[in-house]
Structure 1
Amino acid sequence: MQNQNEPPVEANPDQDDQTVEIDLSSITILDLTSFQLPDLDLVELPPNLIDLDLTTNRLSNLDSRIANLINLRKLSFRQNLFNDAAIEPISSWESLTGLEELILRDNKLTKIPDVGIFKKLLVFDVSFNEITSLQGLSKASSTIKELYVSKNEVTKMEEIDHLHELQILELGSNRLRVMENLQNFTKLQELWLGRNRIKVINLCGLSCIKKISLQSNRLTSMIGLEECNALEEIYLSHNGIAKMEGLSKLVNLRVLDVSSNKLTSVDDIQNLTRLEDLWLNDNRIESLEDIAEGVSGSREKLTTIYLENNPCAQSPNYNATLKQIFPNIQQIDSEVFA
């Protein structure tokens, strides 16, 4: 605290507020997430941007200045208000030849925009729109490695067979009835088709896939997976599957989710030795002895098992018995052990 007998401190004229100049040419990343901007009129765009993130704003028209950002590699318009007409000018942005990632997720699109001009595109995301068809994807570059079209209204897998570099394909929450046109995806690692209307598994001869999700479809059989021996994770919950089959050759399998089906026994996985997570809850499995025999190959490896809402879950000493069967178990249903 200043002594009252001391003279007041005088301002030093050399300490006046100074304007700080920023060299915009040195800025390569601009993140404007959640600014709720209706437009970019008050935003100065650094000329050497590599990454421009405009997620969660209220943009409904493209700013033409973005077309001049010749170094741009990543561009996100996620969660805005773009409709088909508003996004159309992007198809003529010839200066963005190096664009690798384009995110149009969660807007108001009803069709796939023309992105053929981006010859180096690696990631393309149009999930959470109102797209009814994949028509237009035939123009997209064959360099794409990740394609996300989930939560739309797509009815057919089409115009994608030229995407031979594809590693991740997400078509969950659409209206697909048939798995088709996958045969050229020899590098595909992950296939996400949950929440559709698919009745039969058809991988079109692919054996490279490591993760597949067909949750909440209309499957009554697991047949179709048996030749895909690279599989590490399978998600088939919420279907009408009555028998576990076609799994005995999947020696790399670590995660198997067949919860909420019509299973009465555990079959065809007794020779698997790498299972870590096994989800069998909400089925009709009667005895823990059946579990012990069915999962005998992974007794030492298994760390998580879900069996709740099966008759066997009512067995006396339920947890203790499972701990005895699986000595390294860390989680039984929702209970996690230290």
Structure 2
Amino acid sequence: MAEESSSEVESSSAGRDGEEGDPSATVLDLTSCQLHDLDSVELPANLTELDLTANRLSSLDPRIGHLSHLKKLSFRQNLITDDAVLPLSSWNALSDLEELVLRDNQLRKIPDMKIFKSLLVFDVSFNEINSLHGVSAVSNTLKELYVSKNEVPKIEEIDHFIHLQILELGSNKLRVMENLQNLTNLQELWLGRNRIKVVNLCGLKSIKKLSLQSNRLTSMAGFEGCVALEELYLSHNGIAKMEGLSSLVNLRVLDVSSNKLTSVDDIQNLTKLEDLWLNDNQIESLEGIAGAVAGSKEKLTTLYLENNPCAKTPNYTATLREIFPNIQQIDSEMFS
């Protein structure tokens, strides 16, 4: 799944422009320092990035509210509650913040974000949030929104995110794909581990990466118009037939493992396909595989077919290597 860029900050307590303890430092990384508060920490006024990941913070130090140059702020993996995060809404000096990470805390609702006018990345994954109520106040400048591993039952209040490129709502309680039609710049949509039965992309055509793993799909209908798709993940559903794929000519990765497939269909025209995951289905025979994957026979480098009846075929690996001359991996076996 997509990871936020906040973890890619500089080394502990050092800035790009100075050594440890240097007041000219602009990046302060205090990851995994077991801090319960910041009383012993100096916060230089010109900080642009502050990373407090993996500590024991249960409140926000008010000095952070005066760091007017701050662009990136991470409280990932702490003990922040709804009450503890309240001061954020009045820290007007941080109005130019571009990245805010509250991932893996104890939030039950979306915090008040309306003071942040330039926000690009907002991450509240791995909390206990039970609704997207409040996300409508998040700036329409947003490009990445992460709300995975919460208790959200409905996609709502996202209509204004016209610049959004990544939406992560995996591991929630979603039953319906809806209210996506305004997200015309969306490139990645992650909806794995929900309760979705029907694909509805609301007319979006620019998506490049789409995950609906571990849902309740029984059909592949609904992807036909997504001609920009490069990666499609549909494992662990109840899909019985491969269909609606022939128009996805840019597809490089297709994962339909752990479904109810009995044959390989509708991908013969996919000339860019590199990774094909078909394991844990009910595909009986290797006959027809060559024709089914004809368009990408030279391009395919990874193929998973294990835990299908056809994987018990004599000379299984040798047969597949003959069909796909440039294959580098069959199931867990690698080839040089």
Unaligned runs of 5+ in 2: 1-18
2:304, 2:335 → 1: CA distance? 14
Q: Which letter does structure 2 place at the counterpart of 1:286?
A: E
Q: Which letter does structure 2 place at the counterpart of 1:311?
A: P
Runs of 4+ that moved beyond 2 A: 20-23
1:232 counterpart (219, 230, 237): 230
* 1:165-204 to 2 correspondences below 5 Å: 165-204=163-202
CA RMSD of aligned residues (A): 1.1
1:35 counterpart (30, 33, 36): 33
2:311 counterpart (307, 310, 313): 313
1:288, 1:117 → 2: CA distance? 59
1:278 counterpart (276, 290, 293): 276
1:134, 1:320 → 2: CA distance? 51
Q: Secondary structure at the match of 2:232?
A: strand
- After superposition, the C-alpha distances for 1:260-314 in whole angstroms (9 at most, x for unaligned) are 0000001110111010000000001111122111111110000000000001100
2:39, 2:266 → 1: CA distance? 62
Is 2:75 the counterpart of 1:77?
A: yes
1:213 counterpart (195, 211, 214): 211
Q: Secondary structure at the match of 2:216?
A: coil
Q: Which letter does structure 2 place at the counterpart of 1:249?
A: S
What TM-score comes out, normalization by structure 1 length?
0.93
Paired residue for 1:106? 104
Could you tell me how far 1:97 is from its partner in structure 2? 2.0
Paired residue for 1:60? 58
Report which stretch shifted further, 283-292 or 296-305: 283-292
Paired residue for 1:268? 266
Q: Which letter does structure 1 place at the counterpart of 2:246?
A: S
Is 2:153 the counterpart of 1:155?
A: yes
- After superposition, the C-alpha distances for 1:35-66 in whole angstroms (9 at most, x for unaligned) are 01000011110110000000000000110000
Unaligned runs of 5+ in 1: 1-19
1:21, 1:118 → 2: CA distance? 30
Paired residue for 1:12? none
Paired residue for 1:48? 46
- After superposition, the C-alpha distances for 1:224-260 in whole angstroms (9 at most, x for unaligned) are 0001100000000000000000000000000000000
1:303, 1:22 → 2: CA distance? 49
Q: Secondary structure at the match of 1:243?
A: coil
In 2 relative to 1, CA 270–69 (structure 1 residues): closer, same or farther, beyond 3 Å? same
Q: Which letter does structure 1 place at the counterpart of 2:179?
A: N
Q: Secondary structure at the match of 1:95?
A: helix
In 2 relative to 1, CA 322–132 (structure 1 residues): closer, same or farther, beyond 3 Å? same
- After superposition, the C-alpha distances for 1:163-203 in whole angstroms (9 at most, x for unaligned) are 11000000000000000000001100000000000000000
Q: How many residues align?
A: 318
- After superposition, the C-alpha distances for 1:72-98 in whole angstroms (9 at most, x for unaligned) are 000000000000000011011100121
Q: Which letter does structure 1 place at the counterpart of 2:180?
A: L
The structure whose Rg is larger is: 1
2:292, 2:112 → 1: CA distance? 51
* 1:81-92 to 2 correspondences below 5 Å: 81-92=79-90
1:39, 1:183 → 2: CA distance? 43
Q: Secondary structure at the match of 1:41?
A: coil
Q: Secondary structure at the match of 1:292?
A: helix
Q: Which letter does structure 2 place at the counterpart of 1:188?
A: L
Q: Secondary structure at the match of 2:92?
A: coil
Q: Which letter does structure 1 place at the counterpart of 2:242?
A: M
Could you tell me how far 1:22 is from its partner in structure 2? 5.4
2:309, 2:21 → 1: CA distance? 68
Of all paired residues, the percent bearing the same amino acid is 76
1:171, 1:36 → 2: CA distance? 29
